[in-house]
């Protein structure tokens, strides 16, 4: 490939990079996405929960606002995607049932429900019997529940497939190559260099490289974002026809203190996740991870034993010190971050795409993105 | 392929069929083996234990004699195979350590040890501490053990690879096609017909089709052997360099009443098996099977949690009503069985090959094979 140029080059073709590329291309921007294996890393491993309510953490108000905007953005994004491609977006507006196993588990979800109601979130507390009415195959040991009507899920692999088609149709150029470095001339980023030496010049470089975002050559060390990989294993099970649907809603459980989720797909897949391990870039599936997922899943859904184990796979969540993403200007001209989405990459793809596109097009960071600038992690500059 | 002929045609290219073909070819017999996926069914799923002593069952004296002959035949067979091909045979003369977890488990292995000693078998009872001396990574909960110096293992996939090379070098013709039926003319088998219609004529047809041996068209119904599939799931784990060798011997455990085995390979693989389920020809890997294997393995070898889960796979054991194989004349001229090896297919490949070859070459069934004739299952013919 000869040296080429674009308005925007995006490093990373996962859901965040692809959604951003698609948004920009529809606004008339010439976009190149560079990724040797688009959609095949973190974006292919997720369960795809849209769970701002059930995943709310004490004291993360800015992140909650972003996540709620994320789930609100999905229906229109999914409709556009399906309209543009004729492919399913993967969105499944199923609602989520949180359940507890023993008395300690029940106390924990009751405390969380109280906090959620204080935040004005829509949750309905249930007895164990009421929970089983919504999901009849839950274990008789399920002692309490909470119905969260607005937490849904997206089949992340279908979303990747649709976004690859949509970006192509919108004229995005997908370069299936490794990025060697970001080209920085003086105080501005001016493109990327591919492994092999070809350069793609661009006005703006967006780094959406997930857990690898801090590893890219060329970026000045003091600007590298504090993004690290956090390994997670998930299982993909298949529900035989005779038992379908094993579940109709996302089920999140606290089972003897362990958290597990079971995300059903309309096609009979059931995703069980997820472990959480600090092991660098290791993506081996460990026996202990698979064991713990199965142990917890079968405790709340005994029929798990009868489901086919189709795949066990590990991915790397791009994680930051405050569990919130890093969005917008990187600190030198022409370089933007769209990374660090941790467990919320699927959820935040549409909203991040919109926020980054707006930043590129207007040169101004939207208010919703301001709490997530990289500069929040920067220590004061030393006196020279 | 034009119609062809051979002295012997073997239906089934698993370990039994390939070993038999190799034995016959070395004796100058022209052999064809027909199998659409040689070595890829039951023979690829086994753990490959050579375990006549640890698997002895009360009252199965004839089978014990055959199994002991089987393990005795392996070293020469392996040496020949390695000499003929330059490939590893997979034989690993590791010895076997049986261990018990709780007091009931310990009582069970002590009873078995007593029976084994009465049969004159070589077993050494150990305390839990002595067992851990032989395998330091065993759980502290291991309460008793038994050392069985002559039960070994074979890497079944290496054995398949070597046998495929050996049979080819010896002039065996491997036909990678489905067998439509055995051709029976009057009262004798005269060859096979492949899917597609081509016929391979032969003096002798040997059916070594494992769990499918009773399903082949053309064989008179009253002669079909009572062989059924018994599903088993196994796991292939990988021991990281830092923890090698996690085990040096085959470890068989009774853990809270559940039996599990862990078979180490010199290359760092650790095979964990096996479930046992009557589900017809179903080879789906079920979550409950994987769960139970991991639960039991980690109870006796806690480091299991840190090993990579490389593969979970299910195979079909060719099982008979008395758990013993079906060898020799089928009841019409020119048709022989070499099937029904249940859990002992790897163990018995060399000895079965020898017994079947002798039967073909001499027309006489060797004494060792006589208890395993198909006629033991036949009811008296009705008066006509």
Q: How confident is the model over A74-92, as pLDDT tens digits?
A: 999 999 999 999 999 999 9
How much is the average pLDDT of B111-133?
95
Instruction: Say if residue B242's pLDDT is above 90.
Output: yes
* CB–CB contact B309 A290 (8 Å): yes
For A:263-302, CB contacts with B below 8 A are 284-288, 290-291, 294-295, 297-298
Domain spanning A4-45+158-226+321-377, CATH class: alpha beta
Strand pairing report for B4-11 and A4-11: unpaired
Give B120: exposed, middle or buried? Use CB within 10 Å, 0-12, 13-18, 19+: exposed
Instruction: Say if residue B381's pLDDT is above 70.
Output: no
pLDDT value for B162: 98
Query: From residue B64, how far is each of A119, A143, B58, B116, B377 by CA, in Å?
Result: 71, 52, 10, 11, 19
How much is the average pLDDT of A29-33?
98
pLDDT, mean over chain B: 96
Q: How confident is the model over A166-218, as pLDDT tens digits?
A: 999 999 999 999 999 999 988 899 999 999 999 999 999 999 999 999 999 99
Please give the Cα distance from A252 to A272 (Å, whole number). 10
* CB–CB contact A286 B295 (8 Å): no
Q: How confident is the model over B7-20, as pLDDT tens digits?
A: 999 999 999 999 99
Please give the Cα distance from A321 to A325 (Å, whole number). 10
Residues of B in contact with A288 (CB under 8 A): 298, 304-306
How much is the average pLDDT of B26-45?
97
pLDDT value for A4: 86
User: Which two structure tokens, joined as six digits, stand for B92?
Assistant: 């690993």
pLDDT, mean over chain A: 96
pLDDT value for B58: 87
Residues of B in contact with A286 (CB under 8 A): 305-309
Nearest chain B residue (CA) to A239: B286
Give B83: exposed, middle or buried? Use CB within 10 Å, 0-12, 13-18, 19+: exposed
Q: Confidence class of residue B295 from pLDDT cuts 50, 70 and 90?
A: very high
Assign residue B300 a region: left if phi > 0, alpha if psi is -120 to 50, beta otherwise? Answer: alpha
Please give the Cα distance from A76 to B310 (Å, whole number). 40
| pLDDT: which is higher, A3 or B176 | B176
Instruction: Say if residue A35's pLDDT is above 60.
Output: yes
Give A269: exposed, middle or buried? Use CB within 10 Å, 0-12, 13-18, 19+: middle
Instruction: Say if residue B3's pLDDT is above 70.
Output: no
Q: Confidence class of residue A383 from pLDDT cuts 50, 70 and 90?
A: low
For A:305-324, CB contacts with B below 8 A are 305-309, 312
Please give the Cα distance from A313 to B21 (Å, whole number). 40
pLDDT value for A384: 47
Q: Confidence class of residue B186 from pLDDT cuts 50, 70 and 90?
A: confident
Nearest chain A residue (CA) to B286: A308
| pLDDT: which is higher, B336 or B187 | B336
Q: Confidence class of residue B1 from pLDDT cuts 50, 70 and 90?
A: low
CB crowding B222-255: b at 16 or more within 10 Å, else e: ebebebbbbbbbbbbbbbeeeeeebbbbbbbbbb
Please give the Cα distance from B350 to A115 (Å, whole number). 69
| Percentage with pLDDT > 90 across chain B | 95
How much is the average pLDDT of A103-130?
95
Would the ipTM clear 0.90, i.e. be above it? yes
Please give the Cα distance from B272 to A85 (Å, whole number). 46
Angle at A341 between CA A331 and CA A364, to 5 degrees: 40
Please give the Cα distance from B149 to B143 (Å, whole number). 20
User: Which two structure tokens, joined as six digits, stand for A294?
Assistant: 């199965």
Query: Where are chain B's structural domains?
Result: 4-45+158-226+321-377, 96-149+229-319
Instruction: Say if residue A382's pLDDT is above 60.
Output: no
Mutation for testing the A interface, residue in B239, B240, B287 having most A CBs under 10 Å: B287
DSSP state, residue A218: T
* CB–CB contact B308 A294 (8 Å): no
How much is the average pLDDT of B39-45?
97
How much is the average pLDDT of B75-94?
98
Q: What is the pTM of this model?
A: 0.94
Residues of A in contact with B312 (CB under 8 A): 309, 312
Instruction: Say if residue B384's pLDDT is above 50.
Output: no
Q: What is the DSSP string of A107-140?
A: HHHHHHHHHHHHTT---EEEEHHHHHHHSTTS-T
Q: Confidence class of residue B59 from pLDDT cuts 50, 70 and 90?
A: confident
pLDDT value for B44: 97
Please give the Cα distance from B142 to B115 (Å, whole number). 22
Q: Is A236 on the interface with B (CB under 8 A)?
A: no
CATH topology of domain A96-149+229-319: D-Amino Acid Oxidase; Chain A, domain 2 (3.30.9)
């Amino acid at each position: 490939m000869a040296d080429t140029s674009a308005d925007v080059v995006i490093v990373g073709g996962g859901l965040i990079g692809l959604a951003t590329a698609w948004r920009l291309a529809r606004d008339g921007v010439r976009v190149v996405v560079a990724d040797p294996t688009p959609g095949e890393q973190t974006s292919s491993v997720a369960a795809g929960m849209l769970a701002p309510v059930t995943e709310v953490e004490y004291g993360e108000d800015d992140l909650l606002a972003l996540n709620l905007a994320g789930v609100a953005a999905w229906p229109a994004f999914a409709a556009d995607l399906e309209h543009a491609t004729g492919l399913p977006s993967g969105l499944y507006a199923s609602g989520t049932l949180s359940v507890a196993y023993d008395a300690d588990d029940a106390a924990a979800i009751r405390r969380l429900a109280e906090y959620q109601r204080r935040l004005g979130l829509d949750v309905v507390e249930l007895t164990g019997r009421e929970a089983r009415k919504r999901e009849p195959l839950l274990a008789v040991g399920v002692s309490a529940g909470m119905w969260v009507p607005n937490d849904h899920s997206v089949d992340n692999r279908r979303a990747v497939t649709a976004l690859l088609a949509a970006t192509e149709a919108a004229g995005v150029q997908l370069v299936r190559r490794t990025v060697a470095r970001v080209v920085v001339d003086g105080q501005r980023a001016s493109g990327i260099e591919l492994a092999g030496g070809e350069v793609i010049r661009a006005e703006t470089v967006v780094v959406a490289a997930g857990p690898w975002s801090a590893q890219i050559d060329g970026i000045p060390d003091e600007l590298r974002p504090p993004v690290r990989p956090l390994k997670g294993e998930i299982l993909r099970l298949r529900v035989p026809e005779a038992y379908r649907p094993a579940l109709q809603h996302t089920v999140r459980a606290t089972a003897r203190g362990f958290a597990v989720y079971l995300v059903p797909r309309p096609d009979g897949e059931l995703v069980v996740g997820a472990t959480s391990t600090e092991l660098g870039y290791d993506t081996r599936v460990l026996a202990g991870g698979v064991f713990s997922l199965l142990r917890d899943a079968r405790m709340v859904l005994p029929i798990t034993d009868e489901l086919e184990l189709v795949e066990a796979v590990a991915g790397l969540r791009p994680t930051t010190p405050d569990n919130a993403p890093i969005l917008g200007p990187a600190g030198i001209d022409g370089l933007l971050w769209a990374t660090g989405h941790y467990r919320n990459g699927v959820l935040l793809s549409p909203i991040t795409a919109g926020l980054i596109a707006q930043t590129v097009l207007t040169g101004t960071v939207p208010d919703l993105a301001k709490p997530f600038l990289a500069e929040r992690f920067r220590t004061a500059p030393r006196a020279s």
